[in-house]
Amino acid sequence: MKKNVFISLNHLYKMVNRYLILALILMISVSFIPLISAENNDFVIGNIGIKTPAEYQDGYAVMKVRIDSLNSVCSQTCSWSATGGDAGSFTLNPEDFKTLEFKSNAIPKQGTFNGTLEVICSEPAWCGSADTSTKQFSHTYPFFGDYICTTTNNHEDCTITSDDCPCTTSGTVCIDSLGSGQWEGRNPDDRKCVTYCGNGIKESSYETCSSCPADIGQCDGYVGCVSSSECEGGFCVHNTCWNKPWREGDNFCDSSKEENCKNSADCSCNNEELCSNEGVCEKPETSEEEVSKAVQSGVQKTLESSHEKTKNVTLWAIGLIVLFIGVYLVYKFSNNKKTSSDKTEDKKKRIIELEQRIKVHKKHISKLEKKSGKTKKRNVSKKNK
């Protein structure tokens, strides 16, 4: 009996020692969990990219990053902060991820911003302790003094920074370099550069010969030109601007430039000369008196010729009328003669027919007489008998 009790107590003692050892091992393991977590975070920060770049040095860029949970059991409560003051918090579920976006301000006159994102995630006490991780990021942007003209949203133009936005188009200057009112009416480009009077470019939309002779040229009629390039019309005629190589009324006959007696009074012919159809002054071979007499004689001959022609026409007309009447009379005479001849022929034919009929009647009468004589003879003989 005592032996059995001893064995049971010994067995119980061994079991208690075994459980105590297991509990000690478990306590030691739990105590080492925070140490392990501190060396190996339960999340990881991915690469930080630019979602929306900064437009200019007075703006900000929107950065984007993915944070993945490495803990398969516990949810994590996280807070974050970025260089420049942007910060926030989020919850990271087990084996899930969080997409984080934050603003990063640009710094004037630098063009590049370098910053750090710090993320701190904590877990329940029984699961672990807080974990911390950081990630570097950067972004670039246009800025004042980068020699790049940023005209979007009126950030820069030639009036703000001539270094970044010089007027590079030929014949243009910045509007602030012109006097008041000298560029009104012209169209500035996005850099606020405009063309101007004196750039040597003819701009008919903005300039005229009176408002800008330096570009358009002097107006027609301007006196004092030396070369044709000074004039709007393209010709300098005897120190006067004009629109063709000669000018009527300047008392110069520029025959070498197609001015002649037909198109200009400056090239009038002398009294004894006449202007030909080709615009050339020619001296006639006869005198004016001879020309006058010749003209009168020609007129007289023309009148006589006209009278003679009229006379001849009248005689021809009368002759034609007489001829027509004669032909008509001959026709009528011949027609009447033919009619008379036809009537004579008819008479002859009728006479012949009558004569033939008379002959026939005579024969018939003769036959009747013969028959009658024979009958009388027969009757006499009968009476005698």
Is 0.75 topped by the overall pTM? no
**Which of the two residues, 180 and 267, has the higher pLDDT score?**
267
Q: How confident is the model at residue 291 (pLDDT cuts 50, 70, 90)?
A: low
Per DSSP, 185 falls in state T
Kindly report the backbone phi and psi dihedral angles of residue 201, in degrees, each rounded to the nearest multiple of 5, phi listed first.
-110, 125
Contacts of 208 (CB under 8 A, 6+ apart): 216
Strand partners, 97: 68
Q: Is residue 183 domain-shared with residue 206, that is, in the same domain? A: yes
Q: How high is the pLDDT of residue 383?
A: 53
Q: How high is the pLDDT of residue 365?
A: 76
Q: Is residue 185 domain-shared with residue 131, that is, in the same domain? A: no
Six-digit token pair at 294? Answer: 């010749």
Q: Is residue 120 domain-shared with residue 134, that is, in the same domain? A: yes
Taking alpha carbons only, the member of 123, 122, 105 closest to residue 114 is 105
**Residue 373 is assigned to a structural domain of this protein:** no
Q: Is residue 123 domain-shared with residue 155, that is, in the same domain? A: no
Q: How high is the pLDDT of residue 370?
A: 74
Q: Is residue 100 domain-shared with residue 163, that is, in the same domain? A: no
164 neighbors 149 (Cβ within 8 angstroms): yes
Whole-number Å distance between alpha carbons of 360 and 356: 6
**Residue 294 is assigned to a structural domain of this protein:** no
Please state the domain count of the chain: 2
Domain that holds residue 165: 146-216
Find the mean pLDDT for residues 308-330.
74
pLDDT digits (tens, 9 = 90+) for 21-42: 555 555 544 444 443 333 478 9
Q: How high is the pLDDT of residue 338?
A: 60
For residue 99, give the 3-state DSSP assignment: strand
**Residue 325 is assigned to a structural domain of this protein:** no
pLDDT digits (tens, 9 = 90+) for 44-86: 999 999 999 999 999 999 999 999 999 999 999 999 999 988 9
128 neighbors 34 (Cβ within 8 angstroms): yes
CATH number of domain containing 115: 2.60.40.10
Taking alpha carbons only, the member of 96, 118, 104 closest to residue 51 is 104
Report the C-alpha dihedral over residues 211, 215, 220, 225, rounded to 10 degrees. Answer: 120
Q: How high is the pLDDT of residue 83?
A: 95
**Residue 244 is assigned to a structural domain of this protein:** no
Beta carbons within 10 angstroms of residue 260's beta carbon = 20
CA distances 56 to 59, 85, 143, 164, Å, are 6, 19, 6, 13
pLDDT digits (tens, 9 = 90+) for 328-346: 777 776 766 666 666 667 7
**Residue 105 is assigned to a structural domain of this protein:** yes
Report the C-alpha dihedral over residues 316, 320, 321, 326, rounded to 10 degrees. Answer: 140
Is pLDDT at 15 greater than 80 in this prediction? Answer: no
Q: Is residue 122 domain-shared with residue 55, that is, in the same domain? A: yes
**Residue 133 is assigned to a structural domain of this protein:** yes
For residue 140, give the 3-state DSSP assignment: strand
Kindly report the backbone phi and psi dihedral angles of residue 253, in degrees, each rounded to the nearest multiple of 5, phi listed first.
-100, 100
Q: Is residue 131 domain-shared with residue 176, that is, in the same domain? A: no
Q: How far is CA 5 from the centre of its chain?
A: 118
Six-digit token pair at 80? Answer: 């974050």
Q: How high is the pLDDT of residue 289?
A: 63
25 neighbors 32 (Cβ within 8 angstroms): no
Q: Is residue 92 domain-shared with residue 175, that is, in the same domain? A: no
Whole-number Å distance between alpha carbons of 149 and 298: 90
Six-digit token pair at 194? Answer: 């405009």
**Which of the two residues, 271 and 293, has the higher pLDDT score?**
271
Whole-number Å distance between alpha carbons of 201 and 193: 15
Six-digit token pair at 228? Answer: 């044709």
